[in-house]
Amino acid sequence: NSLENSRIREGHGTGQGEAREVNVYDFPNLGMGKASPYGIYDTGRNEGMVNVGKSHDISKFAVESIRQWWLLMG
């Protein structure tokens, strides 16, 4: 579980000389997937927006981010 993995990463829960495989950077087995942020910055207005999605198709994700920006800030 995530609490056990966190304790192990912090050096708790294992004896000296015992190595245990853990998910150091993320826990894909504990969630629905990974989130990807995509930011758009309007230099003329000095405003920005970040869209967070879970698509692995970069072009669709970028187009959706621009569409969201246009609808919200356009």
Q: pTM for this one? A: 0.43
Range 65-72, long-range pairs (CB < 8 A, 24+ positions): 65/38, 65/40, 66/40, 69/40
- What CA–CA distance (Å, rounded) separates 26 from 7? 14
Q: What is the pLDDT of residues 6-65, one digit of tens each?
A: 554 555 555 666 766 765 665 555 556 677 788 878 888 888 888 888 777 888 888 888
Residue listed under structure tokens 């708790």: 12
Q: Does residue 2 register a pLDDT over 60?
A: no
Q: What pLDDT is attached to residue 30? A: 59
